[in-house]
Amino acid sequence: MNGCKALNYPAFIDNQHYQSLDLDLSEKQRLEAMLDNISRVFLLTASHYDSFDELIREYLLSGIEIFSLETGIVSQIQNNGDYIICDVVSPVKELKAGQVFALKDTYCRHVYETQDVLGFPEVGKLDFMRGHPVYENLKLEAYLSAPIFVRERLFGTLNFSSTKARLHGFSEQERNYIRQLAHAIGNYLLLREKEQQLLQLNQRLQNFVGFVSHDLRDPLGSISGLSKLAHKKLEQADSDKKRVLSLIEKIDQATENATELVHSILDCAALNCGKIKLNKRRIDAESFCQFCIDSFMLGKEPSNKEIVSLCSPELHLYIDKQRMLQALINLLNNAVKYSPANSRIELHLVEKNKGCEFSLSNSIRPDHTEDLHSQTPSSTGFGLDIVRTIIEAHGAELELIETSKNFQARFFIAAL
């Protein structure tokens, strides 16, 4: 990535010197053209657009006129090195929206590596560009490009090019124009990203209300019904003491379930609002893995589902132990729900990319093949919402697959 930074990129020309090079226009004409370009850039960045597609189309059409270049492209650069054309305006028929190229095979590779605005007035005269596949195939001589940033993260590039060389080079004013346009695109993307986050939060709120109304109604209804039945039994002269005690035990269990749900609701809300701060510390992964399983099995009756931990030796984690325990117990609960009888549920902790990958999955033990089609309890999803909140607070993202026979969950925690 640092290789291109040592290259001798063409410099942008001082504005006054650049204007003196163009003898075809009078000073008045040059001033009018500059004011016109300033107005166009201002109107572009101040206008409201209903969609990203509408915005980039207008930016490309205007940029082609402002910079007097033939082709305009807005690209997105993926982490895997893919260069995707979001939209393009060009007489070159080979370039189309949606096309994917290797970043290393594009001029924009240099913008990506320098993280700066670059202008190549005549590519054929640059030793490091003359053999470039784009130049060899499309003969694009002039190239001007700026990086698009969203939250200081490189999204892609705004670039303009032409088969005709720019004999006088690119001016500092043109560099400022394209930088301002790219910055405006980045701001639009940031607003769109925030809007999508708000929509997701609204959907999670709707799900939250659904989960609560569903999950809380059952235990509260049970408490009310069982309490009335217990009172009725006590009022009877020949009441069965054992039956009454059994009803009271059920009331206690329903009360505990309702209380646990309320605590989970409050925890989830507090995490989402940032009220609970993670208390991260360095812990041994192997012992934590076993501790999670032991905590999950505490008080449970033996079952025909085996739970084991598999952990890389000498692996350490930097996490909030109690919160992560809460998340993994929820995942183990779902793994048990979504596993047929005689399943083996494995909790893996593996060192990967200077961090730790958690994975939880089930499999049928080879000595048992029956009950593969047994029904599993349905999940309301509220527990998994808490899991996602905790895992996201650790800077990770939960991948989840649930079917009637399979359960897989995976997330990656970066190292300290």
What pLDDT is stored for residue 265 in this prediction? 67
How crowded is residue 373: how many other Cβ atoms within 10 Å of its Cβ?
A: 8
- Give tens-digit pLDDT for 359-396: 998 876 545 444 433 333 344 455 677 788 888 888 88
Average pLDDT, the chain: 79
In the sheet with 399-402, reading across from the earlier edge strand, the strands are 306-311, 343-352, 355-364, 407-414, 399-402
Q: What is the average pLDDT across 189-202?
A: 78
What pLDDT is stored for residue 148 in this prediction? 95
The yes-or-no verdict on residue 205 having pLDDT over 60 is yes
Amino acid occupying residue 14: D
- Taking the alpha carbons at both ends of the chain, their separation in whole angstroms is 24
For 191-224, give one letter per residue: b (16+ CB within 10 A) or e.
eeeeeeeeeeeeebeeebeebbeebbeebeebbe
Nearest one of 118, 124, 122 to 174, comparing CA atoms: 118
What pLDDT is stored for residue 168 in this prediction? 86
What pLDDT is stored for residue 198 in this prediction? 76
What pLDDT is stored for residue 271 in this prediction? 64
Rounded to 5 degrees, φ, ψ at 149 are -110, 140
pTM over 0.85: no
Q: What is the average pLDDT across 78-82?
A: 91
Question: What is the DSSP-derived secondary structure letter of residue 379?
Answer: P
Rounded Cα–Cα distance for residues 78 and 332 (Å): 34
What pLDDT is stored for residue 373 in this prediction? 36
Rounded Cα–Cα distance for residues 279 and 274 (Å): 13
CB 159 within 8 A of CB 175: no
The string of DSSP codes covering 286-307 is HHHHHHHHHHHHTTPPP-S-EE
Residue 399 burial by Cβ neighbours in a 10 Å radius (0-12, 13-18, 19+):
exposed
- Give tens-digit pLDDT for 274-328: 666 788 999 999 999 898 888 888 767 677 788 988 888 888 899 998 888 888 9
